[in-house]
Amino acid sequence: MLDKENTLLITGGAGFIGSNYARMALERHPELRVVVYDKLTYAGNLQNLTDLAFRFGPRYAFVQGDIADPEAVEAAFRQHAVDAVVNFAAATHVDRSILGAEEFIQTEVFGTYTLLEAARRHGVERYLQVSSDEVYGQVLQGAADEGHPLTPRNPYAAAKAGGDLLALSYHTTHGVPVLITRGCNTFGPYQYPEKVVPLFVTNAIDDQPLPLYGDGRQEREWMYVLDHCAAIDLVLRQGQPGQVYNVGTGEHQENIALTRLILGYLEKPESLIQHVQDRPGHDHRYALDSAKLRALGWRPERSFEEALAETVAWYRQHPEWWRPLKSGEFLEYYRRQYGERLKG
């Protein structure tokens, strides 16, 4: 499937992973048409896609819309004769879900439902739900495979788990050809600077403090964005409908070690690290068993340190991309999230 002249709807395609994936899909599959559907919230950015119209002409289209708006979704499906969907659209920042969860539930749960209904009505060939290792909750030892219990511990993770379960139910009940990928922490170009990597890189460039939560000993599994996109592309084509695929590299880092690496690449002093009050309910560790995906033939192409060094260099070379983002709404959020923490 998807090797003929098919149309792929990429929801949330103006965001970080979605925009990297839209570019990869167009580059890799010369027959494919891509429609990016995005609400353009604070984290969706047309600047992430500026090259696509120019490079790919009529094979690429953009539609502004919300996945939780049934009429807009239906109009996009009708107008573009959608054959397959990859759903990246989500509110994704854990700290924001702690400040207020409504948007997360609306997008991850109601939005997913809206897309699944459209996928069912239009009989799509594939529906891929992009999810997260956070649905398993913290994994203090070993690694979670796809059968691990879902024990999400923050509102973002719980909303993502809700979307996953709904998607699987549409496969079982309605026969929608649903696939789910659950990715580990992802970094690379075009990531909104609220997430730890771009936040710490851009703060360090400006000699601003890096607010490290608690003792910084929490552990994450890290992956370069293009490796994540390649896994999604493979599962879309070769995955088994009704199945979940973990996407992890096995590259684990404590936050403090990650922070020191970033400072090292930028030749900035460790005195910029400021330990601040921890995130409530902070998951201590994530770890994925990705054997099922590897059996399909996927391997990460970049080592963690090589990819991190390249990513740091990208942010250093592209202040015109991130500097305008660190203004307005971002500064309001930053004050709310870090104001008291940084004073303490």
Distance of CA 191 to the CA centre of its chain: 9
Among 62, 213, 330, 334, binds ligand DAU (CB under 6 A): 213
Q: Are 22 and 10 in contact (CB under 8 A)?
A: yes
By beta carbon distance, the residue nearest ligand DAU is 132
Closest CA to 210 of 166, 153, 265, 276: 276
Q: How far apart are CA 118 and CA 75, in angstroms?
A: 10
Among 148, 220, 268, 292, binds ligand DAU (CB under 6 A): 220
Among 35, 212, 244, 287, binds ligand DAU (CB under 6 A): 212
Residues 244-273 that bind ligand DAU (CB under 6 A): 255
**Quick check: helix, strand or coil at residue 57?**
helix
Catalytic residue among 38, 134, 227, 251: 134
Residue 170 is among the residues annotated as catalytic for this protein: no
Place of tokens 């994540």: 228
Q: How far apart are CA 88 and CA 50, in angstroms?
A: 19
Cα angle vertex 190, ends 166, 67, to 5°?
Answer: 30
Q: How far is the CB of 287 from ligand DAU (least distance, A)?
A: 10
Q: Which is nearer to ligand DAU, 120 or 279 (CB)?
A: 279
Residues 282-341 that bind ligand DAU (CB under 6 A): 286
Strand segments, DSSP code E, in 13-162 are 33-38, 60-64, 84-87, 126-132
| Residues binding ligand DAU: number (CB under 6 A) | 19
Residue 103 is among the residues annotated as catalytic for this protein: no
Residues 96-155 that bind ligand DAU (CB under 6 A): 132-134
Strand segments, DSSP code E, in 3-141 are 7-11, 33-38, 60-64, 84-87, 126-132
Residue 5 is among the residues annotated as catalytic for this protein: no
Q: Which is nearer to ligand DAU, 68 or 273 (CB)?
A: 273
Q: Which is nearer to ligand DAU, 155 or 211 (CB)?
A: 211
Which residues carry out catalysis?
A: 133-134, 156
Residues engaged in binding ligand DAU (CB under 6 A): 92-94, 132-134, 184-185, 195-196, 199, 211-213, 218, 220, 255, 279, 286
